[in-house]
């Protein structure tokens, strides 16, 4: 599976809900921010300058509007998206952790491991191990035949 497919498969990035219905808000949502969210969900490894350029606005304007519209900093949203992709890659591939770190645009695997552990509460290796054990237990449960009572 390509990285592009993983981005789409794991588009479960956090999204802070609006506190008021859109109809009652004093201003309409900025379509550029909606585009940024869509772009980040498709490719969370884009940098802030790349995102700003794709929406034809400055980095500071993008950061300000994103925080107003979504409710969290674009940096944290982007990091969540990247880590969700990494988690999917850990679950679905046998790539080395270092390769996954580079695939989601971490320059150092130690920075990736620290961010991953902070976000998920487990190191990437432990996360993969836990998934493997959970998968093995699920397979074992499926293979067990139901007990039948004989007379």
Which runs of E-coded beta strand occur in 4-126?
Answer: none
Provide the pLDDT for residue 30: 81
**Residue 89 lies inside a defined structural domain of this protein:** yes
> Can you give the residue range of the structural domain that contains 40?
3-139
Count of the separate structural domains present in the chain: 1
**Residue 148 lies inside a defined structural domain of this protein:** no
CATH code where residue 125 lies? 1.10.10.60
Provide the pLDDT for residue 2: 46
**Residue 98 lies inside a defined structural domain of this protein:** yes
Provide the pLDDT for residue 1: 45
Provide the pLDDT for residue 97: 96
**Residue 146 lies inside a defined structural domain of this protein:** no
Round to whole Å and give the CA distance between 42 and 4: 8
Q: Please tell me the pTM assigned to this model.
A: 0.69
Residue ranges for the chain with pLDDT beneath 50: 1-12, 15-26
Round to whole Å and give the CA distance between 123 and 116: 6
Provide the pLDDT for residue 54: 86
**Residue 105 lies inside a defined structural domain of this protein:** yes
Provide the pLDDT for residue 141: 63
* Residue 1 to residues 10, 104, 130, Cα–Cα distance (Å): 13, 15, 22
CB 104 within 8 A of CB 86: yes
Provide the pLDDT for residue 43: 87
**Residue 31 lies inside a defined structural domain of this protein:** yes
């Amino acid at each position: 599976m390509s990285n592009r497919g993983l981005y789409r498969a794991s588009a479960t990035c956090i999204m802070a809900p609006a506190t008021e219905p859109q109809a009652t808000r004093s201003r309409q949502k900025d379509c550029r921010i909606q585009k940024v969210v869509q772009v980040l969900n498709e490719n969370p490894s884009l940098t802030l300058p790349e995102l700003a350029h794709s929406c034809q606005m400055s980095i500071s304007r993008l950061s300000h509007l994103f925080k107003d519209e979504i409710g969290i900093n674009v940096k944290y949203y982007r990091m969540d998206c990247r880590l969700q992709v990494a988690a999917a890659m850990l679950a679905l591939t046998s790539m080395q952790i270092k390769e996954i770190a580079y695939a989601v645009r971490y320059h150092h695997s130690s920075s990736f491991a620290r961010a991953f552990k902070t976000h998920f509460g487990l190191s990437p290796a432990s996360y993969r191990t836990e998934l493997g054990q959970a998968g093995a237990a699920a397979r074992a449960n499926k293979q067990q035949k139901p007990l039948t009572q004989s007379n």
